[in-house]
């Protein structure tokens, strides 16, 4: 059967249907006080993406980013783990918007933009799927981070964390290979926490980590930031069907067909000193469900999402200092208070 066309005669008789044939939207931006989505779009944006969009819309200072919709996850699994042909251009367009908002360029050697890449199903699945932080670092951009932060130790610490996380999630290298070298360096440096390792030690650790990657994979650690980004996006979609996620969905009656969104967001840092931290804000006590203080816990990095904290107070994973959590309490408390006006689940709206 010949394909129907919108000819002048058919448009006169039936109307112009070209607007109804628009390409589907796969990527949703948030930042600068405006978001393409909102709290009611959990089925499209996932819980985290919907929460980030809603908090952006109500004026919470959310770092800019974008959400790749759950529809892409569905496409990924029904098309041999490939992406819709429109996706790469849409990601590039929205990444440019993040660059403009942040005043940084992805992969730039002088003022690099670093991003986090996180999962986000419509139902909360804490710690079940994968996350990458500090994505965009390589041998060149780490020098730009040194210059822009004026803190070599912070930049090298961020790089070694990224190599370890990316290698575990994307390259599937056992984390114990990296942990062994980290603990050995602590002992050699005569310190008890990761935060006390000096810059010289971290510089050597980065090279050791890259050597581990080459030994385990036969390839160098990826230096191309676009390769890093798409490797992380694919890893998040793949993690929807990892064993722990499948088991969690079965236990909590979460349909396999829902899929996960992917949130790509400009990085904020919890390892720049004793006056900063990153974590999860709650409007209810996560242990009892009671609405008490707007903020009940701060935990550094992924430890918060995977619930590695102590009920009743700030929890610190190995290497964190209690001062880091304490110094960030006031700002996080204010953000959590603002989040209470949001109708979405605040525990799924961390940034």
Model-level pTM greater than 0.85? no
Q: In the chain, which residues fall in CATH 3.30.1490.20? A: 25-138+224-269
pLDDT over 90 (residue 225) = yes
Residue with the larger pLDDT of the pair 102 and 331: 102
Q: In the chain, which residues fall in CATH 1.20.80.30? A: 149-221
pLDDT over 60 (residue 299) = no
* Amino acid 294: pLDDT: 54
pLDDT over 90 (residue 325) = no
Alpha helices by DSSP H, the chain: 8-14, 42-57, 70-78, 87-102, 141-149, 152-169, 176-189, 199-217, 225-239, 243-251, 302-305, 322-339
Two structure tokens written together for 58: 């109500």
64: left (phi over 0), alpha (psi -120 to 50) or beta: beta
pLDDT over 90 (residue 14) = no
pLDDT grade for 278, boundaries at 50, 70 and 90: low
Unique residue bearing structure tokens 């602590």: 186
Look at the domain 149-221 and name its fold. Acyl-CoA Binding Protein (1.20.80)
Helices (H) and strands (E) in the chain, counts: 12, 6
* Amino acid 288: pLDDT: 81
pLDDT over 60 (residue 252) = yes
In sequence order, the 6+-apart residues with CB closer than 8 A to the CB of 33 are 56, 57, 59
* Amino acid 139: pLDDT: 98
Two structure tokens written together for 76: 């990924």
* Amino acid 348: pLDDT: 35
Q: Residue 52's closest CA among 288, 330, 250, 344?
A: 344
- Report whether 37 contacts 55 (CB < 8 A): no
Two structure tokens written together for 60: 């919470």
Lowest mean pLDDT among 71-80, 154-163, 335-344: 335-344
Q: Which of 3.20.20.370, 3.30.70.270, 3.30.1490.20, 1.10.10.60 is the CATH number of 25-138+224-269? A: 3.30.1490.20
């Amino acid at each position: 059967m010949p394909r129907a066309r919108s000819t002048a005669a058919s448009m006169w008789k039936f109307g112009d249907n070209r607007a109804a044939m628009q390409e589907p939207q796969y990527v949703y931006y948030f930042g600068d006080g405006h978001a393409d989505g909102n709290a009611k779009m959990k089925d499209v944006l996932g819980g985290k993406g919907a929460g980030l969009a809603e908090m952006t819309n109500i004026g919470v200072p959310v770092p800019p980013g974008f959400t790749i919709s759950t529809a892409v996850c569905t496409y990924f699994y029904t098309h041999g783990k490939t992406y819709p042909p429109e996706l790469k251009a849409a990601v590039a367009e929205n990444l440019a918007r993040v660059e403009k908002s942040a005043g940084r360029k992805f992969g730039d050697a002088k003022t690099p933009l670093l991003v986090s890449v996180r999962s986000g199903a419509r139902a909360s699945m804490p710690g079940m799927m994968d996350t990458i932080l500090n994505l965009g670092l390589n041998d060149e951009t780490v020098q730009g981070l040194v210059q822009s932060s004026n803190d070599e130790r912070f930049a090298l610490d961020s790089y070694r964390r990224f190599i370890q996380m990316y290698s575990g999630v994307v390259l599937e290298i056992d984390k114990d290979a990296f942990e062994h070298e980290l603990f050995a360096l602590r002992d050699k440096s005569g310190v008890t926490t990761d935060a006390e390792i000096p810059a010289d030690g971290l510089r050597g650790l980065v090279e050791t980590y890259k050597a581990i990657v080459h030994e385990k994979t036969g390839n160098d650690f990826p230096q191309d930031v676009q390769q890093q980004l798409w490797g992380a996006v694919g890893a998040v979609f793949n993690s929807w069907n990892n064993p722990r996620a499948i088991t969690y969905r079965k236990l909590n009656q979460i349909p396999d067909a829902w899929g996960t969104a992917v949130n790509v967001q400009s990085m904020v840092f919890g390892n720049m000193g004793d006056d900063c931290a990153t974590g999860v804000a709650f409007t209810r006590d996560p242990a009892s469900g009671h609405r008490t203080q707007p903020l009940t816990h701060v935990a550094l990095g992924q430890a918060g999402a995977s619930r590695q904290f102590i009920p009743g107070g700030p929890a610190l994973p190995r290497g964190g200092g209690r001062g880091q959590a304490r110094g960030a309490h006031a700002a996080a408390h204010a953000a959590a208070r603002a989040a209470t006006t949001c109708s979405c689940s605040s525990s799924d709206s961390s940034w």
